[in-house]
Amino acid sequence: MTSATKAMQADEKEPKNVTINIRVSAYLRDLIDQAASVMGTSRSDFMLESARVRAEDVLLDQKLFALDSEPFNAFVEALDNPAPPSKKLKQLLARKAPWETA
């Protein structure tokens, strides 16, 4: 079971006590309704699932960055010769991802 699946299951058990309001055009609402219907789900469930997937993608895809040659060489050097893990690093790596907490 993936961490995203675990997070979804945890979210399903949590009481729904927060409201999100958005305004959209009639065209966009109808488009969302059509897609939700195809998926056999409600508009709200379709929108929440779509937003959750996109949020995870954004957070997980923070991996492409560009560097000039000098910073790149320093980066490669740091990768090749890492410092021993500090207490703070160990704490960070032990933390669950935002979608895993429940």
pLDDT tens digits, 4-39: 556 666 667 788 889 999 999 999 999 999 999 999
44: containing domain: 3-100
Kindly report the pTM of this predicted structure: 0.52
Q: What total number of domains does the chain contain?
A: 1
What are the angstrom distances between the C-alpha of 54 and each of 18, 49, 59, 69, 93? Answer: 19, 9, 9, 33, 23
